[in-house]
Structure 1
Amino acid sequence: MRIMPVGSEIWPEECEPLLKKIGAETIGDVADYLNKSKSENSSADDVLFTALLKICYENMDMDGKMVFWEDMLENNSLEWRDVE
């Protein structure tokens, strides 16, 4: 999934300027950006994080979704963010 081109998915309009700014070509580039750096606009990062999570989840097969939820339930590691 990390090699999936950014342009292959529909991103919220709010994400487009940040995607262009960071020069992300793949889903992995977006994940790396969110893991390594903080934008001056954390609300833009929150929207990008939420969109990335949604896109990745929608593209998982059933086994992937099951592993995702098992991990979330076992580790209680999902951090919910207030994003409107």
Structure 2
Amino acid sequence: MTGADNIRNSIIDKLLTITNQEYLTALYQLVNKSNVNDDCINLSEAQILMLNMSDDDIKNNRVISQKELDKTDLEWLKSL
């Protein structure tokens, strides 16, 4: 189950406990008016290439942790 599925299920569980009709109506209007965009986004060739390169990096374990990245960024900033 994805993170979005978990969030959705949690929201549904909470909605089932709400009995206040005005509150539910307001939530319904909020959700109903939300702009959910299911349009596909066309990527440029350069974007597709970059995504493929990042997939290759992940497959070949050419990655570093966020902590390591923060450390190298801080070192770089100090050198300026």
TM-score normalised according to structure 1 size:
0.33
Higher relative contact order at CA 8 Å, sep ≥6: structure 1 or structure 2?
1
- Structure label with greater radius of gyration: 2
Q: Kindly indicate which of the two structures has a greater share of residues assigned to helix.
A: 2
